[in-house]
Amino acid sequence: MAEHEGMDGIAAAYEGLETTFADDGALDAYRRSALERHVAQGDVVAALLPPDATVLEIGTGNGRLLIDLARRGLLASALGVDLARSRIAFAEQWATDDGAAGLRFAAGDALTMDLGGAGEWDAAIVITGALAYFDAVAPGSARALLDRLRDGLKPGGRLVLELYPHPSWRQLLDDAEDGRARLWSELPDGDPWRFYLSDLHLDGETGVLTHRKTFVHRTTGEIDEGRREALRLYATDDLVALLHDAGFGEVETFAGWDGAPYDDGELLVVTAVRAD
Ligand SMILES: C[S@@+](CC[C@H](N)C(=O)[O-])C[C@H]1O[C@@H](n2cnc3c(N)ncnc32)[C@H](O)[C@@H]1O
C-alpha cells in the first residue's frame, strides 16, 4: 500500500471504509452495530444538550453519533464534517433513509471548510481520537481547530473530546533510548490477518507518535505493510492548558463515558464550555 502524508494520508486511510454491502440486510446490520457499540457516547452527549439542540461534529466518519442524537429527537440541526468523501456519502444516505431533515453532512478539511455561523452551535464534538490527528499533520493546527470551534459555539456551548493518550506506549517509548519500540500482537481467531506488528516512534519534541503497521495474513502469509498513522499524544495538563488558551473553561476530564474521573488510562473524555 502506498504511503501518503498529511491530510491526504488521513483521507486515504478512511476513504472507502463503508462502500460495499451485499444487500440491504448487510447494510442494516452494519448501521445497527455502529449504533449499538457506542450507546454510552450518545447517552453522555444527549445529557449535555439543551432541547432542540444545534450540534457540530468534526471527523464524523459514518455519521453514527449524529444519527443517534437525531433518532433520540434531540436535534434542531446538525452538521457533521469529515475528510473522507465516501464516509460523508454514507452518512448522507443514512440521514435520508432515516428522514432526519435537520442533519447535514459535508466533506472537507475542518481547518478550512465552512463550519457554520459564529455562535451557531450548542455543542461541538470531536470524538474517537480525531483531535490528535491535527498537530501530527501541522503543529499548532489543533489550536486553530479549537479556535474555530470556540467561535462556532454559542456562549456557554459545550465542547466534547475523546482521546486515546496511549499511556502504556508512552511509558515504553519514554524508556527506550531512541524513542522507538516494536510490538507484535496476535489478532482474534475470526480476523483474516493473524499477526500485527506495531513499529512505534515518539518524537520527544513534538509529542507526535508515528505508528507503522504491518499485518501477516492468517492463511496465505501475505504481508500488508505501509499503513501509517501519526497522532499527537497529549499529556492531560497540556491539553487542559490548550483548552484554556483557546477560550474554554469548566474543563473536566473523565476516564470514559461512565463519568468516572480520568485516571491516566487509555481513554480520556473531556468536556469544556465556551468561556465568554
Ligand atoms: C477515528 S475516525 C472517527 C470517526 C467517527 N467520529 C466515529 O466515531 O466513528 C476519525 C475521523 O476523522 C476524520 N478526520 C481527520 N482529520 C480531519 C480533518 N482535518 N477534517 C475533517 N475530518 C478529519 C477522518 O477522516 C476520520 O473519518
Could you tell me the three cell numbers for 218?
A: 492468517
Average pLDDT over residues 27-51: 94
Q: Which residue's alpha carbon is at the smallest distance from atom 21 of ligand 1?
A: 82
Predicted confidence at residue 2, as pLDDT, reads 41
pLDDT over 80 at 74, yes or no: yes
Predicted confidence at residue 4, as pLDDT, reads 54
pLDDT over 90 at 7, yes or no: no
Which atom of ligand 1 lies closest to the CA of 57? 6
> From the CA of 259, how far away is ligand 1's center (Å)?
24
Q: How confident is the model at residue 5 (pLDDT cuts 50, 70, 90)?
A: low
Each residue's pLDDT tens digit, 145-187: 999 999 999 999 999 999 999 999 999 999 998 999 999 999 8
Nearest alpha-carbon partner for 211 in 200, 225, 195, 224: 200
How many other C-beta atoms are found inside a 10 Å radius of the C-beta of residue 257?
Answer: 18
Q: Do residues 56 and 149 make contact, with C-beta atoms less than 8 angstroms apart?
A: yes
Q: Which residues contact 219 (CB under 8 A, 6 or more apart)?
A: 192
Average pLDDT, the chain: 93
Q: Do residues 208 and 234 make contact, with C-beta atoms less than 8 angstroms apart?
A: no
Task: Report the distance separating Cα 260 and Cα 227, nearest Å.
Answer: 34
CATH 2.20.25 fits 167-232, yes or no: yes
Average pLDDT over residues 115-133: 97
Q: Which residues contact 58 (CB under 8 A, 6 or more apart)?
A: 81, 110, 115, 124, 125, 126, 130, 131, 145, 149
Task: Report the distance separating Cα 262 and Cα 269, nearest Å.
Answer: 8
> From the CA of 62, how far away is ligand 1's center (Å)?
9
Predicted confidence at residue 71, as pLDDT, reads 97
Could you tell me the three cell numbers for 143?
A: 489550536
> From the CA of 219, how far away is ligand 1's center (Å)?
32
Q: Which residue's alpha carbon is at the smallest distance from atom 12 of ligand 1?
A: 59
Domain ranges of the chain: 6-165+240-274, 167-232
Return the best residue to mutate from 7, 19, 79, 82 for the ligand 1 pocket (most ligand atoms within 8 A of CB): 82
Residues having CB within 6 Å of any atom of ligand 1: 7, 10-11, 14, 58-61, 64, 81-84, 87, 109-111, 127-130, 133
Q: Which pTM does this prediction carry?
A: 0.92
Predicted confidence at residue 3, as pLDDT, reads 45
Question: Please, which residues bridge with residue 185 across strands?
Answer: 196
Return the best residue to mutate from 133, 135, 163 for the ligand 1 pocket (most ligand atoms within 8 A of CB): 133
Q: How confident is the model at residue 1 (pLDDT cuts 50, 70, 90)?
A: very low
Return the best residue to mutate from 7, 8, 10 for the ligand 1 pocket (most ligand atoms within 8 A of CB): 10
Nearest alpha-carbon partner for 276 in 119, 56, 46: 119
Average pLDDT over residues 27-43: 93
Q: Which architecture characterizes domain 6-165+240-274 according to CATH?
A: 3-Layer(aba) Sandwich (3.40)
Distance (Å) of CA 134 to CA 53, 58, 89, 219: 27, 11, 23, 37
Each residue's pLDDT tens digit, 213-226: 898 999 999 998 87
> From the CA of 129, how far away is ligand 1's center (Å)?
8
Least confident range from 4-8, 170-174, 194-198, 224-228: namely 4-8
Q: How confident is the model at residue 67 (pLDDT cuts 50, 70, 90)?
A: very high
